[in-house]
Amino acid sequence: MKAMLTHKKYLIIIAAGILLQACAIQPEPPVETEAPASIEEQKAAQQKAMQEASTKELNLKRKIAIGRVSNETIHGRSLLRDTHDDPLGKQVADMLSQRLIESGQFLVIERPDISRIQSESDLANTDFNMVGVDSLILGSLTEFGRNTTGSKGFWSKSKKQTASAKVAMRLVDISNGLAYFSATGAGEASTESGEIAFSGSTASYDGSLNDKAIANAVSDVVDDIISNLNSRPWSTFILSKENNALFISGGKLQGIKAGMKFKIVTQGKKVKSPQTGFYITLPGESVAEIEITSTFGDSEINEGSVAKITSGSIENHKIEDVATPEGFEKDPDLVQAFYNKRRHGLQSENIQPNSAHKALGELEDKLDGKVTIITQNIDNLHERGGSNNIIHMHGELLKARCSESNQVIDHKDNIETGELCHCCQIPAQMRPHIVWFGEMPLRMGDIYSALEEADLFISIGTSGVVYPAAGFVHDAKMHGAHTIEINLEPSAVESEFEEKRYGKASIEVPKLVGELLCTEKGSLTA
């Protein structure tokens, strides 16, 4: 369980994740070997080398997205400026985007583009996803300063103006939400001016130094980012399989052409290293090879490619058959049966809320304030534990949704193929109210609003490595919330928390709730 709270407004989160099972990756570069002895063998080796060289020189572009880049300093802010108006943060993002585009190695999707696409999707009642994006870049301006120093002689004086900046960046794997790389950069810019006695005053502060310092800080970190991005194998995702055609994300703009060949590799199991405490992904299994037959789309947002399988099979290595829109379209009976079974199991008498659920319900009932639970779990245990103000990021198992209008209804029984909605002029198939892989989490606007208002933020039972939930503590802390971590062991973001408590949630959560209610009672009776 993963949770957040606030003195006046309290938040709680529960996590559950789904990983993609297969992706297409660029084959590894060939290994040099000694030439065979015979002429026939040499000719064959030359032909093979030429084929491998053409593959090696694909120079495929990575598709990356630039997300939130915030200004964590006091500069560039005022009481009259809202939290969304962040000129210095935008400046860092713009400089980073420019450097990445100038490298010629990436297709860059900037945050305004993401917001625009999201808005258009909302208006059209369609799902938005970032399938095909390799990595998400998140960052912040962590330090910024300006100072003026000088010296004075009998006939002259001089003034040195200096601006300094530090930025922090991290890379997040879109496929699993894990932050896999972080780096910092520092930059400085200065100028000197002087005057001779009686000739006039020196110039005022040179505002261009600010831009130069930030640009130098971005330059200091961007090479590490580019190097890390390029060190990862080029990969993309399988969108759908129809008859003998395989559709993958990524097309002409990324350098994909007809005739190119790729390997299909299953995504390896994610495990936690006992030595480092970090999660690592085990190597996947190569199950098939494909050849590109054509490309489609006219922008980095909608482009893709069509391929045929030349060897191997993916029939036994399907891409989350029960957790993607494509899987539902391909085999709705399989998907409905999967969730029907779990819906039935959730309503068993053996499934009951634990002491942590009940303690949070008591907190909401007795606290003179607001408690909001943000959960990634799809069960109803928080509701049964007594909580009412709950945001289900990943949907709810006991609800169904129209696949066309997205209208949601309570639904505790089985959902059958052929069960149609009553909200559309032409009735559409009902589906589980679950956020599948590639779909956006629900009510993100409400979540970030709650984070901005929180006085106290408590995270319960999270690894701190899966985004966007892993970044919630950072946002809450930026807006002044006191932060507490309750976990069996320190999370990947434990440094963000001011207070840490380690132990079972069933023990630590009721204990903390008791302390909060006792403190509140004391303050009311004092």
Catalytic (active-site) positions: 394
**Distance (Å, rounded) from C-alpha 184 to C-alpha 141?**
10
Exposure string over 260-298, b if 16+ CB within 10 A, otherwise e: bbbbbbbbeeeeeeeeeeebebeebeebbbbebeebeee
Tokens, residue 153: 């002689």
With a CB cutoff of 8 Å and minimum separation 6, the contacts of 497 are 459, 473, 483, 484, 485
Identity (one letter) of the amino acid at 43?
K
| Max Cα–Cα distance, the chain, nearest Å | 97
Residue 463's alpha-carbon distances to 137, 205, 387, 492, in angstroms, are: 20, 46, 24, 6
For residue 166, what are the β-bridge partners? 143, 186
Is residue 323 within 8 Å of residue 86, measured between CB atoms? no
Is residue 339 within 8 Å of residue 432, measured between CB atoms? yes
SS3 316: coil
Identity (one letter) of the amino acid at 54?
S
Tokens, residue 406: 């997205």
Neighbours of 191 (CB within 10 A): 15
**Distance (Å, rounded) from C-alpha 53 to C-alpha 377?**
48
With a CB cutoff of 8 Å and minimum separation 6, the contacts of 99 are 218, 219, 222
**Distance (Å, rounded) from C-alpha 366 to C-alpha 199?**
73
Identity (one letter) of the amino acid at 224?
D
| Overall size of the chain counted in residues | 526
DSSP 260-304: -EEEEEEPPPEEE-TTTS-EEE----EEEEEEEEEEE-SSTTT-E
